[in-house]
Structure 1
Amino acid sequence: MHSIRRRALINAALGIAATGCVPPLIPLVTGQEPVREPARTTRRVRVTDPDWPSRAEWAALNGKVGGRLLELSSPFAACRNAPRSAACRDVLAQLKNPYFLGDDPALTQSSGWIDAWTSTPSVYAVAAEQSNDVAQAVRFAREHRVRLVIKGGGHSYQGTSNAPDSLLIWTRRMRGIRLYDAFVPLDCEGDMPPQPAVTVAAGEMWMHVYDAVTTRGGRYVQGGGCATVGVAGLVQSGGFGSFSKKFGTAAGSLLEAQVVTADGIERIVNARTDPDLFWALKGGGGGSFGVVTSVTLKTHPLPDYVGVVSAVLRASSPQAFRRLIDRFLAFYADALLNEHWGETVSMSPDGTLRISMLFQGFDRVEAGRIWQPFLQSVTETASEVRLVEPVRIQSIPARRLWDPAFIMKHAPGVMVADGRPGAAPDNVFWAADQTDAGRFTYGYESLWLPASLLDPSARASLSDALFQTSQQWNVSLSFNKGLAGAPEDARDTAMNPDVLDAFALAIISGEGAPAFAGMPGAPVDIAAARQAAMRIRGAAQSLRVVAPHAGAYVSESSFHQEDWPRAYWGEHYPMLDAVKRKYDPDGLFFVHQGVASNEWDPEGFTRLQ
C-alpha cells in the first residue's frame, strides 16, 4: 500500500496521470465522447490541401493544451533577412551546442542525410508538459489526418523526429526524475520483489539522469553514452551505454512505461498490464507504437571505480597493420571479452589503431596489469608499430563519472558546458560528442559481429575483413554494443537477437558540417558527399564477407538499410507487426523504416497497401 501511495505522489509530481492500463480504460480527455473509429486513412493532408485544418481548428487545439501550441518557423529566418546581423551570428554560433539544438522545436540534432532527408520544421508543435497535452495532440492528428512527429532529444540519424507539413509532439518540457528505494510495477505486487528504480519523464536527457541517479543518488542506471540523447527514444530503440556488457541495454532495464496510444488513451504498461505493448517498447523502435511520457528503469549498485585506457598506434606498412589488427583481436578475445570492458577501437586507412576503452569494476592498477601483455607486444615490435599518442590508463570513483564539477576540475576539456547566457550549470556534454551536433550524414553502416568470429579458426578471416574495410574507410568496433557475455536479465527485449551473440557493433560512417534547410553559407558538396557514401557502402561490403547476415542497430544504421525488418528485429519482427496492428491499426505513428512503415510512401503521407 505504501508503495502505491508513494508512486501516486511521484506521478503527481511528474505531471503523470495515475490511470491504470487494465480495463476499463478511461480517455484522458474527460467530458467528451470516446474517440470514434475513423475510416481507414489512405492519405494524410498537407498544408496546401483544402482539408488542412483551419485556423479555428488549430486555435481549438491550442485551448485544449493550455496555450502550448507553437507555430514553428526556421531559426534561420533572421539570416535570410539580415545575413550579417547579430541574430544570425548567434544562431550559427550555437549549431555545435546540442542543448541549443534540443531547445528549439524547429531544429534536430542532425541536419540531414545526402539523398535522404533535410531537417525541416513542423508547421505546429505541441510543447507538451503533461500527458493530457500529448493525448489531445494525438486525437487531433488522428481526427484531421495530420502527419504526426514525436521529438524528445531529436537525435535520430534517420530523420524520424522531423517532417514537413506535420504536427510535432515535443516532449522536451516533460521533466522530472524520481528515485525509488523499492519499486513494484502496477499490479505486480506479490509477483515481483521491490527493487531500486528511477522514474524519468520523457523530456529528460541522460546527462541530467546520470547526475541525479549516480552523482547524487549513488546508483547506476543504464542509459546512453551520448549525454544529450533523450531518455524515451533511447529506451524504445534498445539503448547502449559504455557499460552495457555489465548492465545490458536501457530497454532491458525497463520496468514500466507510461504511453499514449493512437486511441488517445494513456496506458501504464509493464510485464503484467499490456505485456505485448510493453515488450514492443523495449527495443521495437521509437515513435512506432505510441508516445512514451515516462519510463521507470531499474537501478544497480555502483562499482567502486570506472576508468579509461587510451592510446593511438600506427603501423609502418599495410602488412604490419594487418598483423596489429590480428594481435589486438586475439588480446581482446582473451582478456577483454567480459562484463568489465566497453567502448571502442577504430582502424583507419593510414594504418592507425585508435584505442578508447572504458572499464568498470577495478582500478587503474588492475587495468594496467590486464593490458600489459598487449602493450609489451607493441614494445617488442617497435620497428613496425609506433605509439602516436602515449598509453593512458586512468580511473576515478564511479560516482564522479557524470559529476560536472569534478570532471571539469580534474579532466579539463573532457566535458563542454552549454555556453548560452543563463544556461543551467549541469548542461554539459562530452567534448567527443560535439562532432555529432548538427551533422549532415553522407553514409552510415552498422552490423553486429558474432563472437564466433573471434575463435582462432575464424579470426584470420575477421582480421582480413577488418583490414580490407579499414583500407577504404575508418571502421570502429563498439564493444559495449554487442551483448555476448551480458547478464541474462538484459536479454528480454524486442531487439534483433543477433545482438545477444555479438562481441561488437561495427560502425562505418562519415559526415559533414551542419546543413540545415534555409541555413546560409556554402551548400553541401553533393558530388563529394555521394562519393563518400559510395565508399562507406563499399567498406561495409568488405566486412559483410565474414558476417553476410548480420543484423544492424536501428538507431545507428543506414537510412537505406536493405531488408530492414530482418536487420533491425530478425525473428521478432512478425510479433512487433502484430503489436502495431493491435494498438495502432490505422498507422497513425509513422517513422522511416519503423514497424509497418512499408505500408506508406517514404514520407508517410500516402498509404500504399
Structure 2
Amino acid sequence: MTLKSAVREKDAALINTNWESWPEQNQSCYLNNIRLVPCGQGRVSLYSLEAKTPRDIQAGVRFARIHNLRLAIRNTSHSYQGRSAAPESLQINTHSIKNMTVHKNFRPSCYDGTGKIEPLAVTLDAGVQLYEMYEFLQSRSVMVVGGSSHGVGAVGGYIQGGGHSMFAGLLGMAYDNALEFKVVVADGRHLIANSYQNSDLFWALRGGGGGTFGVVTSVTVKAIPDPPLVEFLFSGQAPLGSDAYWYAVEYLNSFIPEFNEAGGSMYYYLNPDFTTPSGKRVSKLDALGGFAGNKRKAEVESLMKPLIDRLGNLTGQPFLQNITYVPKSASFYTTQFENPDQVGTPTILGSRLLTREFMKCADGPKNLTDTLRSMKVFLGDSNPIQGIVTVGPQVWANSDIDSALHPIWRETQLHVIIKRTWKDTTPFNQQAALQKSLTEKEVPLLKKLDTTPQGGSYLNEADAYEPNWKESFWGSNYRRLYQIKQKWDPEGLFIVRTGVGSEHWDGEGLCRK
C-alpha cells in the first residue's frame, strides 16, 4: 500500500465545497478566492489511498488503526452532511472498484436452506455510480432499486442510509432489497454479512448509515426483469408571490395521497421567486416522476388529468405536460439523469418526513403549504423547495423487515427538503448565520407540522447540525445500533458526523469528549 500526500484534486474535491472548508479553524481554499486570501487545508484529507481492491482497503484500515489516524471513507458524489471528509485524516477512496455481476438463483453465503433463493440478483462493487449501474442494467434487461442522481455511489451511504427511489413503491427501499454485504471491519477483516452470518452487522448496514460500521466493498441486491414505466413531466407558473401560486401548491400536496397510493413517484420543485430567460420574475412549479410496473399510459393520463387541469385553473395559465410510455425503465434513468450532477456549490439542507396520516388530514396540505410559504428568505432560482414522493405501497408493506431503518419510513408519504447555498466568497460568520437560521428556525417549523411521536428525517438528506440526530435519523433503533457499533468498532475507528457513536467525539471526529 502506498499513501499519497499532496492529494490529487480528483481524490479530494467535493461536490458541496462547504465541506472542504474548516470554519472553526478559519481554513478554506476555494478556486474563486483571490490569491491574497490565505489558503488552508480545511477538511480535505492530508493523505489518500485510492483503493483498487478490497485488499487495499484492508491495508488502509489496518494502517489507520495501528497509527491512530482519523479515517474518512470516500465513495462518490454528494454528502450533504460532510461524512466523506474529515480534517487531518487518511481518506480511503473506493471510487475505482467498479465490478458488476448479474446472478441467477442467488444463494447467500452460508445459506442453510431456509429463506428464499432469489431468481435474479445483482452484485455491485463499492465504486459503482448510479448512472454506470443503470447503463449496465439496461444492457442486461434487469432492474434494481436505485436513486435518481447521476453520480451517487450505489453501495455507499445511499443503500446503507436506506435509499429512497422511484422504484420504492414497487419494490421497497433500496436496503429492503439488500441480500448480502461484503465489508472490511475495524480489525481489518473482510467479512460477509447477511441473514446467515454476521446477521447483527447485516441489520446495521441496512439503514445504519455509511462509513460507520466498516467499509462496504460490495453489496448484492434483488433484481427483476426490467419493467416498463410511464413517465410524466409537468410545469407551470403564476405571478410572483401570488395567492394563486400557493393555492396550486396546496392542491398538489392534497393530491399526493391518491397519487402515491396508486403507485406513483414524484419529485416536485417549488421556485417561489424564479427569473425566466426574458428576465421576468414569477413563481414556478415543476415536477417529474413515473409509475413503474404494469400501469398503462391511458391509466396515468386519466389519473393526472384532474391535477393538471386544476393547477392550470388555479394559476390562470395552462400547465405544460408530457406523459410517455417507456418499455424499459433503465432507459428512463439513463436518459432523464444522463447529465452529471451540479458541482462546486456550498450547500446545506433541512428536511422532514411527513406521514400518510398527516397528508390525509383535512388541514395537513394547507398547513404544509402555509409553512413553506413562510420560508421567504434565501429563496431563488438555485434554491427550490423539494417535495419527494418516493415511498409507496411496497415500502409500507415491508414493515415486517427488521432493519436499522428509522421506523417512520414505514409511515412516510412525503419527504420535504429546503436548501440553502452561498458563494465561495461568503464570510464564515455569514455562513454560520445561515446554518443557525436553518437549524434553529426553519427546520423546527417543519418538525411542528407532523407531531408523530416517532417523527424523523432522512439521514442522508437532512440538517448536518440536527441537535436531536439520534431520534431524527434512527428513532427507536438507535439503542441497538449503538450496541452493534460498540461490538464491531469499540475504539471508534469509523466515525462520521452525526453517525452512530459520534456522540463520544468532537464535531470533526478528532478528539474524544
Q: Which residue of 2 is the match for residue 394 of structure 1?
A: 324
Is 1:498 paired with 2:408?
yes
Gaps of 5+ in 1: 1-64, 76-103, 408-413, 416-428, 516-522
* 3-state SS of 1:343 partner: strand
Q: Which residue of 2 is the match for residue 266 of structure 1?
A: 190
**1:198/1:563 CA distance change after superposition, 3 Å:** same
Note the 1:148-297 alignment, pairs <5 A: 148-195=71-118, 196-213=120-137, 215-233=138-156, 234-297=158-221
Q: Which residue of 2 is the match for residue 70 of structure 1?
A: 4
Work out which of the residue numbers 243, 254, 262 in structure 2 matches 1:319.
Answer: 243
Tell me how far apart the structure 2 counterparts of residues 597 and 403 of structure 1 sit (CA, whole Å): 36
Work out which of the residue numbers 395, 399, 402 in structure 2 matches 1:486.
Answer: 395
Deviation at 1:359, TM superposition (A): 2.7
| CA contact 1:440–1:512 (8 Å) conserved in 2 | yes
Can you list the C-alpha shifts for 1:353-402, whole angstroms capped at 9, x where unaligned? Answer: 32223332334433221111122324544xx4324x62222332224525
Matched residue type, 1:369: S
Q: Which residue of 1 is the match for residue 47 of structure 2?
A: 124
Work out which of the residue numbers 504, 509, 513 in structure 2 matches 1:604.
Answer: 509
| CA contact 2:76–2:152 (8 Å) conserved in 1 | yes
* Structure number with bigger Rg: 1
Work out which of the residue numbers 409, 426, 436 in structure 2 matches 1:524.
Answer: 426
Q: Which residue of 2 is the match for residue 84 of structure 1?
A: none
Q: Which residue of 2 is the match for residue 371 of structure 1?
A: 304
Can you list the C-alpha shifts for 1:459-502, whole angstroms capped at 9, x where unaligned? Answer: 3553454443454544221011x456625347543121111111
Work out which of the residue numbers 326, 338, 344 in structure 2 matches 1:438.
Answer: 344
**1:601/1:339 CA distance change after superposition, 3 Å:** same
Q: Which residue of 1 is the match for residue 492 of structure 2?
A: 587
| CA contact 1:108–1:154 (8 Å) conserved in 2 | yes
TM-score, normalised to structure 1's length? Answer: 0.72
| CA contact 2:182–2:219 (8 Å) conserved in 1 | yes
| CA contact 2:194–2:202 (8 Å) conserved in 1 | yes
| CA contact 2:76–2:151 (8 Å) conserved in 1 | yes
Tell me how far apart the structure 2 counterparts of residues 585 and 534 of structure 1 sit (CA, whole Å): 33
Is 1:358 paired with 2:358?
no
**1:471/1:277 CA distance change after superposition, 3 Å:** same
* 3-state SS of 2:221 partner: strand
Deviation at 1:582, TM superposition (A): 0.3
Which deviates the most, 164-173 or 500-509? 164-173
Tell me how far apart the structure 2 counterparts of residues 297 and 581 of structure 1 sit (CA, whole Å): 27
Matched residue type, 2:405: M
**1:571/1:503 CA distance change after superposition, 3 Å:** same
| CA contact 1:72–1:105 (8 Å) conserved in 2 | no
Matched residue type, 1:358: G
Q: Aligned pair count? A: 476
Matched residue type, 2:317: R
Matched residue type, 1:201: D
Deviation at 1:124, TM superposition (A): 1.9
| CA contact 2:144–2:222 (8 Å) conserved in 1 | yes
**1:467/1:157 CA distance change after superposition, 3 Å:** closer
Q: Which residue of 1 is the match for residue 278 of structure 2?
A: none
**1:470/1:601 CA distance change after superposition, 3 Å:** closer
Is 1:545 paired with 2:448?
yes
Is 1:306 paired with 2:209?
no
Q: Which residue of 1 is the match for residue 387 of structure 2?
A: 477
Tell me how far apart the structure 2 counterparts of residues 486 and 229 of structure 1 sit (CA, whole Å): 22
| CA contact 1:322–1:467 (8 Å) conserved in 2 | no
Work out which of the residue numbers 554, 558, 565 in structure 1 matches 2:459.
Answer: 554
CA RMSD of superposed structures (Å): 2.6
| CA contact 2:7–2:48 (8 Å) conserved in 1 | no
**1:123/1:464 CA distance change after superposition, 3 Å:** closer
**1:363/1:348 CA distance change after superposition, 3 Å:** farther
Q: Which residue of 2 is the match for residue 97 of structure 1?
A: none
Tell me how far apart the structure 2 counterparts of residues 238 and 497 of structure 1 sit (CA, whole Å): 11
Deviation at 1:312, TM superposition (A): 2.1
**1:572/1:456 CA distance change after superposition, 3 Å:** closer
Gaps of 5+ in 2: 29-41, 274-281
Note the 1:102-121 alignment, pairs <5 A: 104-112=10-18, 115=23, 120-121=43-44
Deviation at 1:257, TM superposition (A): 0.5
**1:268/1:607 CA distance change after superposition, 3 Å:** same
Matched residue type, 1:171: T
Tell me how far apart the structure 1 counterparts of residues 332 and 125 of structure 2 sit (CA, whole Å): 19
Tell me how far apart the structure 1 counterparts of residues 330 and 209 of structure 2 sit (CA, whole Å): 32
* 3-state SS of 1:585 partner: coil
Q: Which residue of 2 is the match for residue 79 of structure 1?
A: none
Q: Which residue of 2 is the match for residue 25 of structure 1?
A: none
